């Protein structure tokens, strides 16, 4: 009888601990945090030293616009960028993104975005583009813009998402060609690339870009201590994927900062991986 009681007690403690952990995780998933990075590069002109970029990735029309707007008001970034997946398949709702866009425009902060695979696959892609442009979201679809301050400049570039879940070799070649062409038009400037898919890093890291801002893998959805993100591309059955979260720099290649995103999808329940926006401060070395 004592053994049975001990087993029951251990089991009860385990269940209670598990329920507490799930409760804490669920509470954490209701709050969007700000994750801060400082990126240093000798190519960053002195006029842009200290400039702040807020990155919103993989929103998927989650009901976080009020929290994100509050973060923008508090942090006062110089630029706001969105790195794709504004909608959540199979729907094409943009309500949360548009609330953020209208608030950012009212704050007179430049807002730039690129498409993600959900945006491209929703069946109403060009209607989405028209709506975003109408709300003063500057969509960088295989294009670039130059920011000028005190006679110095940096460049922001964006890549249109390739749409298909698996990116073919031919499509990756086209993306590299697009980046190199845009760089040829913007020679010698410090250049930031918005590219939704962080797992494209091996294909684009050596194109001459300085810094890549990405998302797509949602931080691995489930994050495990010492191991990182657990789940990668569902279609490829990836476990413990590469390039799912944080900062990457391979040799002399471009650096990449990957957001865990800020979605709220019951089918992809996040564990130990609360939603986030990034605040990146540029520093000249």
Tokens read off for 237: 């059955």
Q: Residue 284: what pLDDT? A: 92
Inter-residue contact 259 to 55 (CB < 8 Å): yes
Burial class of residue 37 (count of CB atoms within 10 Å of its CB; 0-12, 13-18, 19+): middle
Mean pLDDT calculated for residue range 47-68: 98
Q: What is the pLDDT of residue 236?
A: 52
* Average pLDDT over every residue of 261-267: 89
Mean pLDDT, rounded, of the chain: 92
Q: Does residue 235 carry a pLDDT above 60?
A: no
At a CB cut-off of 8 Å and minimum separation 6, what does 4 contact?
none
CB 100 within 8 A of CB 65: yes
> Where does residue 252 fall: left (phi above 0), alpha (psi -120 to 50 degrees), or beta otherwise?
alpha
Chain-centroid distance, C-alpha 26? 21
pLDDT band of residue 25 (cuts 50, 70, 90) is confident
- The whole-number average pLDDT for the span 44-48 is 96
Residue pLDDT, tens place only, 86-96? 999 999 999 99
The pLDDT value recorded for residue 266 is 82
pLDDT given for residue 60 in this prediction = 97
């Amino acid at each position: 009888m004592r053994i049975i009681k001990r087993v029951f007690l251990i089991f009860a403690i385990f269940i209670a601990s598990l329920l507490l952990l799930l409760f804490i995780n669920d509470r954490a998933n209701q709050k969007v945090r700000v994750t801060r990075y400082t990126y240093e590069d000798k190519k960053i002109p002195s006029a842009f030293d200290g400039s702040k970029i807020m990155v919103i990735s993989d929103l998927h029309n989650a009901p976080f616009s009020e929290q994100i707007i509050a973060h923008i008001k508090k942090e006062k970034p110089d630029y706001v960028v969105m790195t794709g997946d504004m909608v959540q398949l199979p729907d094409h709702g943009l309500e949360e993104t548009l609330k953020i866009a209208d608030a950012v425009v009212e704050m007179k902060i430049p807002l730039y975005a690129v498409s993600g695979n959900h945006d491209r696959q929703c069946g109403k892609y060009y209607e989405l583009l028209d709506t975003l442009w109408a709300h003063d979201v500057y969509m960088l679809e295989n294009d670039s813009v130059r920011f000028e301050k005190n006679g110095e400049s940096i460049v922001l570039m964006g890549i249109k998402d390739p749409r298909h879940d698996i990116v073919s070799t031919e499509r990756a070649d086209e993306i590299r060609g697009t980046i190199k062409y845009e760089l040829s038009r913007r020679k010698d400037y410090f250049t930031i690339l918005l590219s939704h898919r962080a797992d494209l890093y091996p294909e684009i890291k050596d194109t001459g870009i300085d810094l890549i801002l990405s998302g797509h893998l949602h931080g691995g959805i489930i994050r495990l201590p010492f191991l990182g993100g657990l789940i990668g591309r569902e279609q490829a059955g990836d476990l413990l994927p590469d390039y799912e979260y944080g900062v990457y720099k391979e040799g002399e290649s471009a650096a990449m900062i990957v957001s865990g995103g800020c979605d709220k999808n019951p089918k992809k329940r996040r564990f130990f991986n609360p939603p986030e926006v990034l605040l990146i401060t540029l520093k000249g070395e």
